[in-house]
Amino acid sequence: MTAGSPAGQAGMERAVRGGTRSEVAPPAARVRFVADLVCPWCFIGFRRLRRVLGEGAVTWHPFLLNPHLPSEGVARSRYLERKFGSLVQAQRLHGRVGEVGAREGIRFAFSAIRTQPSTVLAHALVLAAAEQGDPAPAAEALFAAFFERGVDIGDRQALRTLAREAGLRSDALDQPGWAQRVVRAHADACRFGINGVPICAFGEDHVIAGAQPAEALQVLLDLERYRLAARPG
């Protein structure tokens, strides 16, 4: 099932409805972002989305690209060799991503990454931030830490440091309920046909997959706001 198929789109719509909700007013366009914090295209797509939204809020929906990784992660070089076939091929792809990211103000430092982490706890921090308000600054901080500085965002102590620096609550790292919420969110996405990220949903039925240009995101946001403004009552 693909993001562009009718069944896939319907599944994505159902999967992303269960997250923590934040509203942009007026009109109150609901925007949901399904992503993983170790996905470079998710970082690029997130930057574009935030630029389009301005001060608008976004709902974060966790997805685990590597749900079976051990909690301590694995060596980055080993992971890349298995995923891409060779480090040379991985570096070639990283070069392309780096060029696109630079246009969004992202300074990808792929060579600084030593560990491919499990992102369950990092997602838990973002969900905890969502309960305090806007999850976007937390997600941005974690994306930047991993991709621009090579921080192991699966390491509990590293996450505590990041949380303290960003003024985030870190209790999600100690309460198993938060990690369970992340795992359930990922399972929900998979059950409804989501098998890749990023995915962005505006309202109930405007869904787009991939790191789309800001112009495409703006069109969908405008459509959703127009529909809300035209709604009776």
Is the pLDDT confidence value at 4 over 80?
no
180 and 186 Cβ atoms separated by less than 8 Å:
no
Q: What is the DSSP letter of 153?
A: T
Domain 6-230: give its CATH code. Answer: 3.40.30.10
Whole-model pTM: value is: 0.87
Q: Which helix (H) or strand (E) holds 91?
A: helix 87-102
Is the pLDDT confidence value at 17 over 80?
no
Model pLDDT for residues 172-212, shown as the tens digit of each residue: 899 999 999 999 999 999 998 999 999 999 987 889 999 99
Residue percentage of the chain with pLDDT more than 90: 73
Higher pLDDT, 204 or 92: 92
124 and 168 Cβ atoms separated by less than 8 Å:
no
Return the pLDDT at 232. 74
Domain residue ranges in the chain: 6-230
Assign 168 to helix, strand or coil. coil
- Average pLDDT of the chain is 88
Return the pLDDT at 56. 73
How far is residue 76's CA from residue 97's CA, in Å, rounded to a whole number? 17
Residue for token digits 């792809």? 93
